[in-house]
Structure 1
Amino acid sequence: MIDLPSDVEAARLLERLGVSSRDRDETLAARPDPQEHPELWRSLERCYRDLTSHLGAALPADGYRALPAFPAEAGPVALHLYVWLYLAVLPRTLRYHAERGIDPRTSWETLSTLGPVMAEHRSVHGLGGVGGFDQWCPPLKFRGTEYKLGRLEYDRGHGERPDGMTGYVLHLHIPSGTPLSPDSCDESFDLARTFFERHFPEEPVSHFACHSWLLDPQLAEYLSERSNIVRFLRRFTLKPRTSGDADRADGDLLEYLFSKPSRQEPVTESRLAVLPQETSLQRAYVAHLRSGRNWRARTGWMPYRTAR
C-alpha cells in the first residue's frame, strides 16, 4: 500500500530535496489519485514494489533496467509520477541509511540531487517533472545503492573487472555542475573509500568503474591535455571496443552540452547548424560529427587503492 505524504509534508520534503518553489507547486498540482488516474496509479504501485523490494541491494553484474520515460503529451501527472514515487519511498530510504550508520548530512546531500534533475528536465523539455527522462540515477539513490560524495556519485555493485572476472566495484556517475577538477575528484575518491569501507565493509571493492562519454579518447583530439576532462579520462584503463558495442553517445552529449532532447538521433546537419559554439567542448562536438564520426561512451577502470 502506497502512502503518499500530505501536500504540506510533500512541500517540506521537496524543499529538503533541493526542488525549486515552481517545481514544488507543480508537483503538488500533479498529485496522482487512484480513482482519477487508475493506470498511472497502477504504474506507481508497480514501481514502488520494485524499489522497496530492492532496498539496500547492490547492482547485479548485468546492471538494471531504468524506469521508462513518459512522452511529453502524457501530461503533468505522468511527468511528475516518479517524483511522487520518490516521496513515497523516502521514509524507508532514510531508515535504511540510519540502520547503516550513514549520517543525515550525507543522506540529504545524496537525495537532494532530485532538485537539479527536475531543473534539468525543465531546461531540456520545457516541462516540469522528471518523467521525460528514463530514470537511472534517482531510483538508485532512493533504494540505497547510489551515494553522492563530494564531486562524484557512486553506485555499489557487482561488475566486470579488468581481468574479466566479476567482483565488487564502485560505478562512477559524474553529475553536471562544478568543474571536474583533479583536486575535487581526488577528494571524492578519498571520501568514497572511507564511506564504503565504513558502511558496507562486507563489499570489498577492487576498482572504480565508469561508463561514460567522458571516457571517449577522441575528446583528446580537441581538448588540451591539461583540461579537466582529458585529465579525468587519463585516470582510467579503457575496456577495448568490439564491433558489436552499442556505445554511440551523440545524443547524450547533445543533452548535456546543449540541453536538447537526446532521443532524436541521428543528429542531422540542420540540427548542428543551430547549436551554439561558445565553448571548446561545444565546438568539438559539432566539428566531430561534421567530420563523419560519432562520439562514444566507453568503459574504464581505475584501481581502488591507487586512484591518484
Structure 2
Amino acid sequence: MKINEFLAEINMLPEAVHLLNELQESGRIGEEEYQENKLLYEKDRALFYEKILLEKDYRLVFLYYLCRMGAETYDAYEKRGISREIFRDTFYDLTFWCENCFLEYGEYGIDEYDWFFRHMKLTIFRLGRMQFEIMDSRWNFTAGERMVKKGDPIISIHIPQGEKLTLESVKESIVQGMAFWGKEMPYLCHSWLLYPGLKDILPEKSNIIMFQNQFQIVETDWDEREAEWRIWGKVQRNLNVYSENTSLQRAAKKYLKSGKVLGSGLGILKPEYFL
C-alpha cells in the first residue's frame, strides 16, 4: 500500500496530509535515506529516535516514517489473513496521536513515537472498541488460581481514545479479542481506568466503573498521573488551573484538592470470560 492510500485509509487529518505531501514532494527524504532509516528502525529503534530528534520538525518527520512504514505492513496483514478493517482500525492510532500532538504542541506530527513499534511488528490489533497486544508480562502476581510471572506471555488490553466505553462495546471487544488471540493467556489491563479510587468519585453505573468491574484489581500504582493527562489533556503542578467543564473534571479536581491522588491499577480479566 502506498502512503497516500494509507493516509486516506486511516482518515489522517487534512492539514497533516498536506504537510506530509509537501515533505515528500520536496525530496528532503530520498528513497535511499528512507530505506536506510527504516532498516535502522528495525535494528535499533533508540538510535533511530536519536537521529530523527535532531530534525527541527522531528514530530512531522516521525509521522512520515511511521505512516510510510505502516502502509508497508499491509502486505503482512494480507499474508496472515487479517482483514483490512482491522488494519484500518489499528493504524487509526496514528490519526489519534497526530491530533493529540497538535493539541499539545501546536504542530502536526507524532510525539508518542515509541508507541508504534507494536503496530509495525503486528503484536497489537484493535478489535472493536479496544486494542489487544501480545507481550511478556512485566508483573508478578497471583489472582485466584491464576499465577502470572514476569516474562509470561499475556494479552495486554489498551483503551484507545474516541468512542464511549460502554459495557456492551467492552464485552463485544473482549469476545473479538479472545476469538483472535485465544483464551490460554491471561488478559491484563494497566490503566488509570482501573484505579480503585475512581469508585469514590464516579457513580456505580458509570461506563468507567462498569469497565473496571470486568477486572480483578491486583496492583495499584499510586505515582502514575495518566488520569490527570487523560481527564485534562495535560498534567499541571497547580491543581487550581484544571478546568471544571465536565462532571468527571469537577469530581476529580475536588478529589485531588482533598490531598488524594489519581493513580493507575493493574487488573486481570475476570474468570467468567474464560468459561
TM-score normalised according to structure 2 size? 0.82
Residues 224-263 of structure 1 aligned to structure 2 (within 5 Å): 224-241=203-220, 247-250=222-225, 252-260=226-234, 262=235
- 2:16 paired residue number: 23
- 1:306 paired residue number: 273
1:141 is aligned, of 91, 106, 119, to 119
Note closer, same or farther for the CA distance 1:122–1:105 as it changes in structure 2 (3 Å cut): same
CA RMSD of aligned residues (A): 3.2
- 2:197 paired residue number: 218
Query: Residues of 2 paired with 1:294 and 1:70: CA distance?
Result: 37
Q: CA deviation at 1:41?
A: 9.7
Amino acid at match of 1:280: S
Q: CA deviation at 1:249?
A: 2.8
Q: Say if 1:111 and 1:142, in contact at 8 Å, map to a contact too.
A: no
Q: Say if 1:206 and 1:303, in contact at 8 Å, map to a contact too.
A: no
- 2:171 paired residue number: 186
**SS in structure 2 of the partner of residue 205 of structure 1:** coil
Aligned pair count reads 263
Note closer, same or farther for the CA distance 1:70–1:172 as it changes in structure 2 (3 Å cut): farther
Amino acid at match of 1:268: R
Q: Say if 2:215 and 2:267, in contact at 8 Å, map to a contact too.
A: yes
Q: Say if 1:110 and 1:148, in contact at 8 Å, map to a contact too.
A: yes
Higher relative contact order (CA 8 A, sep 6+): 1
Query: Residues of 1 paired with 2:14 and 2:28: CA distance?
Result: 22
Give CA deviations for 1:49-99 in whole Å, capped at 9, x if unaligned.
357xxxxxxxxxxxxx9x9699999632x1122222223323542222222
Give CA deviations for 1:203-251 in whole Å, capped at 9, x if unaligned.
x63321011111101000010011110111122112234xxx6x5232x
- 1:110 paired residue number: 90
TM-score normalised according to structure 1 size? 0.74
- 1:172 paired residue number: 157
Query: Residues of 2 paired with 1:154 and 1:167: CA distance?
Result: 16
Q: Which moved more, 1:290-299 or 1:160-169?
A: 160-169
**SS in structure 2 of the partner of residue 273 of structure 1:** helix
Q: Say if 2:90 and 2:126, in contact at 8 Å, map to a contact too.
A: yes
Query: Residues of 2 paired with 1:143 and 1:109: CA distance?
Result: 16
Percentage of matched positions with identical amino acids:
20
Q: Say if 1:69 and 1:134, in contact at 8 Å, map to a contact too.
A: no
Note closer, same or farther for the CA distance 1:150–1:119 as it changes in structure 2 (3 Å cut): same
Note closer, same or farther for the CA distance 1:69–1:176 as it changes in structure 2 (3 Å cut): farther
Note closer, same or farther for the CA distance 1:231–1:134 as it changes in structure 2 (3 Å cut): same
Are positions 1:195 and 2:180 aligned together? yes
Query: Residues of 2 paired with 1:273 and 1:11: CA distance?
Result: 44
Give CA deviations for 1:177-203 in whole Å, capped at 9, x if unaligned.
111111000100111111224xxxxxx
**SS in structure 2 of the partner of residue 268 of structure 1:** coil
Amino acid at match of 1:88: R
Residues 151-166 of structure 1 aligned to structure 2 (within 5 Å): 151-159=129-137, 160=139, 162=142, 163-165=147-149
Note closer, same or farther for the CA distance 1:188–1:95 as it changes in structure 2 (3 Å cut): same
Q: Say if 1:189 and 1:307, in contact at 8 Å, map to a contact too.
A: no
Q: Say if 1:153 and 1:173, in contact at 8 Å, map to a contact too.
A: yes
Query: Residues of 2 paired with 1:70 and 1:248: CA distance?
Result: 31
Are positions 1:119 and 2:96 aligned together? no
Give CA deviations for 1:34-58 in whole Å, capped at 9, x if unaligned.
68xx9x997665224357xxxxxxx
Q: Say if 1:167 and 1:205, in contact at 8 Å, map to a contact too.
A: no
List gaps (5 residues or longer) in structure 2: none
- 1:289 paired residue number: 256
Q: CA deviation at 1:274?
A: 2.7
Q: Say if 2:227 and 2:263, in contact at 8 Å, map to a contact too.
A: no
List gaps (5 residues or longer) in structure 1: 52-64, 198-203
Amino acid at match of 2:227: L
Query: Residues of 1 paired with 2:177 and 2:214: CA distance?
Result: 16
